[in-house]
Structure 1
């Protein structure tokens, strides 16, 4: 075993973890002690990271905060929220700043987040090799070098693109001798191993490479979750983990059929064989299936071979295939119209069309259909933007039973949806309902997000305010709606 690998194993052993060979998966991260739900299994700073939107300054380069940003006056590419973060980044950014400043304006336009991520990775490797910045068992280039690139499985067009990107990196860093083949391989590693850094409400902020966390394998029924505080990655247990249990997270959106999940996983060059992928034919039928013609029946339809019809698996009532196709075509045409209205900023009219679509889909698809769910999520977002809180709450409440069906109990999406519901109920002065929703949100999010972040402290503050209001009403016998102080702008989260 290489020296860096031995150091990594020793470091992980102190955290109750080990890198092990997992049959059919290669390397994996395995618990060597028990972990309780909500406990941090591993956390890591990125080896390299970059915000998503460089030119407009969406996030601080160091902490990924979004407020009070100022642009580097020299390169005019990096952004910082203050002098503390700028100083923390200075050794790395000094080299990057010199390289970027030497570029023509045309070349600067080619500086995409992925290119910049590579530049930062190369410069960090250089600084560590020169002992200008420290390295550790979980923060060194050997970990990056050990990541799988799957380069032999990459198609020719993508290989050409990687080669072109490697040449651009060479133009940006002409003073550093680079192995262009190695750079191309590393771009392929980004595709398979980099993680999207999100804020606490799962809105994308940027991209980071976390080599130790990249050892963790995927499952569609994961026992852990990866979330971020700033740019620091935290993996927390979603359920009790015993010793010798492999730690797993989800690389993709899991509220989808098996076929959709497998398509989404193609960029990682493996096929998931978790328990859900092996046996989920009935769930797939629910998530993508049509509903029974009998509105009182909760069955879903299956193709009735030879009859050009669909039959309910529960009551056997049939729906004609042509009827199903006709309604599907009508929904598709309306969806194109609604999408066009939404993209042009005509939210009010788009909302009206999406309401018609939702009514058609409600008659057409099963109540747990992902298609129907996405339409209701879109309606929630539209009416939040229109500040029609009552209508927004109606659609938010409709999504929650589906979220609870398609996600495990302690999933951030479930907690965040309850949080949105609670804030809307509070604004509309449904105080007792708000208390119930905020309590559910806190129960889930304390597991997925921990308890110490500013985001969670704000949630706990809202929860205590709701408890105090309900307690006051009960003690005073006041059944009237209460006034409250939560600003309208505070209700912001919708599924991205």
Structure 2
């Protein structure tokens, strides 16, 4: 662990991480590889199960037919971690265990394998399961997952308490406790554009506490988690991240944090609730119309029914027009959905129109530097570039680069891609300028 951070007891929060030296915004605070990770089931056909890159064509494991790889090199490098999982998947086919069950199993297999000495600040044994705080309904759901875990690994680890006793810490030897720890402490692994692709366990980073306006963000490069400061941090200051998507009403954020992580947030943003008025602004009846339409549109998105989804979004946005401002939370979500659908359908002009409309709200709700704002600017810039609006594209890419060199770092593939896009724009503008003379 870098010497610029240390573990401490955070008042009212329990364990936490704080700075031991001054940290500048944009600085890489810490990077870590997962103790265990897996690609999400819903993305298993488009993401390499070793390096977590997105690919249009992937090699499939000839045995379990589930794991996929970029090439023979990735497949070979993944085999030591996949071989026990592969046997378990083959026995369970055509059924697939849930992401949390697969992650818990991969954790067990990783701990059963010889490994180098760990220098973690926070051990698996210290992770909270929060079983005592859970409702009976949630506990029942976890019991079902624990039973599935035991069934899934049965042929590879015939008795969870026997073979695993020496490998697993005492508080993790019970399947229910292990599943509870995994679900409470795992991180969603995302690609450079912040789209979910998998889940992983990064023990030391579980020390980070939540804030709805954090001073650090997490960005992934493959499965490596990079923690970067987005504010200047003084020695002794606590490092915080956001556990959830922060573009939500205070009440909804607090409910999600309590349901999923079992605490009530008392951060400055929650205490003031100042943004809620803007998020709910607009004519009441038309706001309700947008809010009530969201579940149906989200269902169409899950089904990849882009045509119907775009039609629904377009109709709603026309119906509310200027009666609901673009900063309204529900209007913003529907505008974003219209952007996604337009891109999938190859309707570039339409996509650009929707993308541009989201930018003032993104700037308002994601104070710079924030990776979500940077990625949205990059998306819009790519549409402008594709449609040959070079001056606009260059300006948008510059705004994105100013943010992402801090949130992703100068060497991240996304930042490198942005640099190349800016050069392309400059070259094309220079060519146009010279051809006029």
> TM-score normalised to the size of structure 2?
0.88
The aligned length equals: 423
Question: Which stretches in structure 2 are left out of the alignment for 5+ residues?
Answer: 162-171
Indicate the larger mover: 257-266 or 327-336: 327-336
RMSD of Structure 2 on Structure 1 (CA): 2.7
- Counterpart secondary structure, 2:263: coil
- Counterpart secondary structure, 2:203: coil
- Residues 316-335 of structure 1 correspond to what in structure 2 (within 5 A)? 324-325=284-285, 327=286
- Report the counterpart of residue 119 of structure 2 in structure 1: 137
- Report the counterpart of residue 268 of structure 1 in structure 2: 261
Indicate the larger mover: 79-88 or 233-242: 79-88
Indicate the larger mover: 450-459 or 333-342: 333-342
Question: Which stretches in structure 1 are left out of the alignment for 5+ residues?
Answer: 1-11, 292-323, 479-496
Using the alignment, how far apart are the partners of 1:406 and 1:244 within structure 2?
28
Distance 1:333 1:178, change over 3 A: closer
**1:191–1:268 Cα contact (<8 Å) kept:** no
- Report the counterpart of residue 121 of structure 1 in structure 2: 107
Distance 1:429 1:257, change over 3 A: same
Structure 2 counterpart of 1:42, from 20, 27, 30? 30
Q: Is 1:198–2:190 an aligned residue pair?
A: yes
Structure 1 counterpart of 2:139, from 159, 170, 175? 159
Q: Is 1:418–2:410 an aligned residue pair?
A: no
Q: Which structure exhibits the higher relative contact order, with contacts defined as CA atoms closer than 8 Å and separated by 6 or more residues? A: 2
1:345-383 CA-to-partner distances (Å, cap 9, x unmatched) read 765565344233113334333442111111211221222
Distance 1:224 1:363, change over 3 A: same
Indicate the larger mover: 363-372 or 188-197: 363-372
- Residues 271-290 of structure 1 correspond to what in structure 2 (within 5 A)? 271-280=264-273, 282-290=274-282
Q: Give the number of the structure whose alpha-carbon radius of gyration is greater.
A: 1
**2:294–2:334 Cα contact (<8 Å) kept:** no
**2:64–2:89 Cα contact (<8 Å) kept:** yes
- TM-fit CA distance, 1:20: 0.5
> TM-score normalised to the size of structure 1?
0.78
- Residues 9-408 of structure 1 correspond to what in structure 2 (within 5 A)? 12=1, 14-53=2-41, 57-67=45-55, 68-101=57-90, 103-105=91-93, 109-127=95-113, 132-138=114-120, 143-174=123-154, 175-179=157-161, 182-266=174-258, 267-280=260-273, 282-290=274-282, 324-325=284-285, 327=286, 347-348=306-307, 350-408=309-367
- Counterpart secondary structure, 2:228: strand
**1:287–1:366 Cα contact (<8 Å) kept:** no
- Counterpart secondary structure, 1:243: coil
- Counterpart secondary structure, 1:417: helix
1:360-410 CA-to-partner distances (Å, cap 9, x unmatched) read 334333442111111211221222233232222121111100001111111
